[in-house]
Chain A
């Protein structure tokens, strides 16, 4: 290829990069006319829905931060409070490693923990479908009570509604939670600095794969269990070790590690570079993903956290995570850099590089 056409081609490439980048950065608008399942997947469509419907209507400084929990002070109270809510619709209700009740307690505790708050009180709202077995409800509630007791939180208020058969799927649970801030420092997805290190508390993908294998009659036999767990004590350990060097905490639930890191990269207008081979994963999860054509980085976790830490404290933070039972397999998986803004990319096992995008739609299997 001669030099002129090569440089013309390059000019074209550059234009394209810029256009794609612009498209990416201002892309949260909603074109759909009806809600589809993609809007609930936690990936791009969910973002479009939030930015297209909820954010403009409710806009205020606390909400606009778009962190896992809102953090605010109240006159006369010395400490700041964190407040969050989440709804659980998982199917099946009971799955390897947990159930909807346990998940509803852990999930809301984790949203508070990611804001750096110590969780105190939860509410529990039940939406029940006519015909749902009381015995199953007893099991779910007992499991919630146990999870709350173990985590040291109290369920202090609740609500129950029943709808006609077919208007819901067994049981849906909403929990809201209040926590108290232990520190003055508030980590968040706008606080990443170039040079920071990205830590992951353990192997990824277990929850999503456990649910998928329980839900779809796939005839793949594994003993993959959901990793559902309350992360507030792990966060407390991390705060104790490195305090203000924690720039961001996130639990990679729906949409997985890929979506969580993209939110950070967009929120802080930085780039995140990951090392694929450093990302911890169980062989069963990796095998199931290979067979089903799924990217484990987009699969949900319910007991893992991502921590972005100032470079000089990264080793100390890693040691702190590994000293806790829920962080034994923690790893340093990447670093923050300045460019290309708003993008996450991956150094692949084979030595190449690729973009890691947010999840689009549900993680659907490839066919061949």
Chain B
């Protein structure tokens, strides 16, 4: 069986050949590269890419998991909205298990709140039209990848004058987060595997400052295993040749200018917040979006009372350091004991794109493989 657009990006032989080239390029200079996007982290662990790459490549996981970066206070606000009488609270599936200070949306649902998961804001909008006697709130999260679909839904809600629909807007923007990481003294990075789907919307230009001012190469990458391996190769090559440029590995999807229509829809409906709290990273200026004043009728934060209280992250949780790439997930004190995917303490353990969940679900074998490298334990190959 062969599947177009999938199998050609999962060729083990080709992967091995490129990994050999990467090894040559990075032989005398081990590289620390950050994959910004949670989707990349997921692919890396799901396919065991670290086993294929040479030991000279250290992949550090970045802040690009929209579920992971939401602070606890915003989850509490969402819970307050979900518990209101008459509200149908709609959300993407992976928000359901994220813990607030008093339980998760899944818990709220078990206690009687009408929480439903949807695949897009348009599904939530359709639900609002079908349920005129209920108030439908959509929990909008995500980077520039998902913000355009929220924008388009808002424009439709206004055009069709649907009044029982509103958006709890938590959209964030990726560039300020990357800036915060570059300015953080804890971390020395050699380059970035750039986010593919965000770039499909914002294009390549916003990354120029990383290459010009910080002298770090950026390669915008796709989400299949070979996309990531090739991007690592392109980064290693830039570094070996002393270049720092923004390159595009994901040309089949990303255009240098981005998606102008999507950006327009966002600009018509949303504007930058003066500042927004990121889990673990703290307050970052101009790093998130809110609805424009003309869309106040559809803004859940204005329509309903939300507590809006800042809640400190659990003390034991080191999500912030994980999100900045300062520590690996397994170096967190609670990883794997108090904090697991079924009883998560931090957000990074909830979303499949969270570095901790990816590590816990898929990556522990890599740790077992480390034991093999130390000759502590022989591991047979599957089907050998």
Contact = CB atoms under 8 A, between A and B. Distances in A.
Mutual binders A and B: yes
Interface of A: 1, 10, 12-14, 16-17, 19-20, 23, 27, 31, 34-38, 44-45, 48, 216-218, 273-275, 278, 281, 283, 286-287, 290, 292-293, 295, 332, 334-335, 337, 339-340, 343, 345-355, 357, 360-362, 364-368
Nearest to B1: A283
Given A16-B335, A343-B365, 19 more contacts: A10-B374, A16-B330, A17-B370, A20-B360, A23-B337, A27-B340, A273-B383, A275-B382, A283-B1, A283-B3, A335-B380, A339-B378, A340-B377, A346-B48, A347-B382, A352-B52, A357-B362, A362-B93, A368-B146
A203 to B, nearest CB: 9
Contacts of A286: 1, 3, 6
Contact of A17 (B46, B123, B367): B367
B110 A36 contact: yes
A315 to B, nearest CB: 13
Interface stretch (B10-18, B232-240, B272-280): B10-18
Contact of B52 (A35, A287, A350): A350
B9 to A, nearest CB: 9
A354 B383 contact: no
Nearest to B51: A352
B109 A13 contact: no
A19 B336 contact: yes
Contacts, number: 197
A273 B49 CA distance: 17
A352 B19 CA distance: 12
Interface string B346-360: 000001110000001
Given A34-B111, A351-B51, A48 B10 contact: no
B313 interface: no
Nearest to B362: A354
A276 to B, nearest CB: 9
B60 to A, nearest CB: 14
A353 B362 CA distance: 8
Given A35-B110, A348-B47, A367-B146, A45 B342 contact: yes
A352 B49 contact: yes
A10 B378 CA distance: 16
Nearest to A290: B6
Contact of A273 (B46, B367, B378, B382): B382
Contacts of A357: 341, 360-362
A274 B382 CA distance: 6
B117 interface: yes
A213 to B, nearest CB: 12
Contacts of A351: 12, 15-16, 48, 51-52
B290 interface: no
A308 B342 CA distance: 28
Contacts of A340: 365, 368, 377, 379
Given A34-B110, A339-B377, A347-B382, A1 B30 contact: yes
A273 B365 CA distance: 11
Contacts of A278: 383
Interface string B94-131: 10110000000011011100000101000100000000
A360 B377 CA distance: 28
21 contacts: A14-B374, A17-B371, A20-B364, A34-B111, A36-B107, A38-B106, A38-B342, A273-B382, A273-B383, A283-B3, A286-B6, A337-B380, A339-B379, A343-B365, A347-B48, A347-B382, A349-B10, A349-B47, A350-B15, A350-B48, A354-B46
Nearest to B126: A217
B77 interface: no
Contacts of A27: 340
B49 A13 contact: no
A285 B47 CA distance: 19
B162 interface: no
Interface pairs A-B: 3 shortest CB-CB: A352-B48, A364-B93, A273-B382
A367 B106 CA distance: 17
A366 to B, nearest CB: 5
A23 B47 contact: no
A275 B67 CA distance: 31
Contact of A335 (B42, B371, B382): B382
Contacts of B49: 350, 352
A150 to B, nearest CB: 30
B45 interface: yes
A54 B61 CA distance: 41
B92 A367 contact: yes
Contacts of B368: 17, 339-340, 343, 345
A218 B3 CA distance: 21
A277 B374 CA distance: 28
Given A275-B383, A348-B46, A350-B12, A48 B342 contact: yes
Contacts of A367: 66-67, 92-94, 141-142, 146
Nearest to B336: A20
B343 interface: yes
A31 B45 CA distance: 28
A1 B42 CA distance: 26
A160 B217 CA distance: 69
